Structure 1
Amino acid sequence: MQAPISFRATLLILALLPALDACVPALLVTGTAATMISVHDRRSTGNQADDETSEWKGSNRLPAEYKNHAHVNFTAFNRNLLLTGEVPSDEARQAIGAMAEKIEGIRLVHNELVVAPPATFSSRSNDAFVSSKFKARLLESNQLSANHIKAITESGTLFLMGLVNEREAKVAVAIARTTDGVRKVVNVMEIIPEEETRRIDNSLLGARTPPPLAAPVETR
């Protein structure tokens, strides 16, 4: 049974709220691409910008012979690059993976491309909805910030990227596995010590501008 439109819209809004709240007003422009930099992201602002640039380079360097016969997504997080989507042959899969490995600044490429016909618009829309449901449930759990996890769904397979500690990774995987519409979970999150996540989070909170002092109130 398909969820009511209002419910679907609510989930989409819930999933987007953390990202919207975490963006600073300034735009960072790299080449012809403009992106918002999050002050709540555990990645450095430099790595955030590099990730956006890497995704742009991947899309633009896709070999011409595959552009009309493949559906490829390039998702970068902390200089790790995830390739998802469908390609016409294993040769195409290997060629695109080799191209991705040559993108400047990328440390590791996760080539999760599959040999299959390109996903339909309906399938891609459903995948986006599955990702939004996961993000909404992550937000509702109140166990870790949704800003620390990037979710990408392809044909029901939910890929998780992020910079998290072991406890947070377990929470994210548990929520992903029980999200409606998820057929399989692929964990490509980068695990760092809990002390390091605490240090980064404290530095991010310390960098925020403190709220102005409240004005005094006189009762007469």
Structure 2
Amino acid sequence: MNHRTACTVLAAAALAAGLSACAPLIVGSTVVGGVLALDRRTTGTQIEDEGIELRAVNRIVAALGERAHVNVTSYNRQVLLTGEVPGAAQRQSVEQIVAAVENVRSVVNDLAVMPNSTLGQRSIDTFITGKVRASLVDARDLSANAFKVVTERKIVYLMGRVSQREAERATDIVRGVSDVRKVVRVFEIISEEELRRIAPQPLPATTDSQAVSGG
């Protein structure tokens, strides 16, 4: 792992580690380092997604307390549920709670019926998320900011509005990251034409003469 990649892993891991074990990963891919402007969702949709996550988590905690460990991740109003619940009834109940939250478009329920994961297991997941993000940053043919990464029990979930080409490339990269047990894609696939339309355009080059005259 080169120095740049190691720094990216540590920064991503430190950010995620600062979040509550039951809190959704809201900040990492929408605010830090000016990423907000590069997100392929509109600013309004990003704010909606954060509101969905907060309302859903509050309602789940009110209903189940510490009996379950549920992570809620919303991207473009599609909600991914990961974590652990004590039984099938609770699994269904959480999905119904989230589906009833305002502005939710659809729910992907990947909750496992099993005991809650340990803090040690969650720390490993946090580090894996950091390694995945670093690997996506190092891929020069991808825009790492287009992907939201969630890791649960070494299963990596990828979300985002991406082309089929980007989806395949990102999946191949993540499968090659150490300790990743499985990759689950929760993408919204867009055409290459739409990708060209929404992708940030590079700033125009400034010549030396322009720079002098502008000063």
Same fold (TM over 0.5): yes
Q: 1:205 aligns with which of 181, 194, 201?
A: 201
Greater percentage in strand: 1
Task: Tell me how large the CA RMSD over aligned residues is.
Answer: 2.8
Give the direction of change, closer, same or farther, for the CA distance of 1:140–1:63 in structure 2 (3 Å limit).
closer
| Structure 1, unpaired ranges of 5+ | 24-37
Aligned pairs for 1:5-154 (under 5 A) are: 10-13=8-11, 20-23=32-35, 38-62=36-60, 64-154=62-152
Q: For 1:188, what is the secondary structure of its paired residue?
A: strand
Letter in 2 for 1:167: R
Q: For 1:205, what is the secondary structure of its paired residue?
A: coil
Give the direction of change, closer, same or farther, for the CA distance of 1:167–1:10 in structure 2 (3 Å limit).
closer
Corresponding residue for residue 214 of structure 1: 211
Number of residue-to-residue matches in the alignment: 195
| Structure 2, unpaired ranges of 5+ | 16-27
Identity %: 41
CA contact 2:149–2:157 (8 Å) conserved in 1: yes
Q: For 1:142, what is the secondary structure of its paired residue?
A: coil
Is residue 167 of structure 2 the alignment partner of residue 165 of structure 1?
A: no
Is residue 192 of structure 2 the alignment partner of residue 194 of structure 1?
A: yes
Q: Distance in 2 between matches of 1:79 and 1:107?
A: 5
Letter in 2 for 1:122: G
TM-score by length of 1: 0.80
Q: For 2:80, what is the secondary structure of its paired residue?
A: strand
Give the direction of change, closer, same or farther, for the CA distance of 1:138–1:199 in structure 2 (3 Å limit).
same
Give the direction of change, closer, same or farther, for the CA distance of 1:195–1:98 in structure 2 (3 Å limit).
same
Q: Distance in 1 between matches of 2:52 and 2:113?
A: 23
Shift of 1:8: 5.8
Q: Distance in 2 between matches of 1:105 and 1:10?
A: 33
Q: Distance in 1 between matches of 2:58 and 2:69?
A: 13
Corresponding residue for residue 156 of structure 1: 154
Greater percentage in helix: 2
Q: Distance in 2 between matches of 1:111 and 1:192?
A: 23
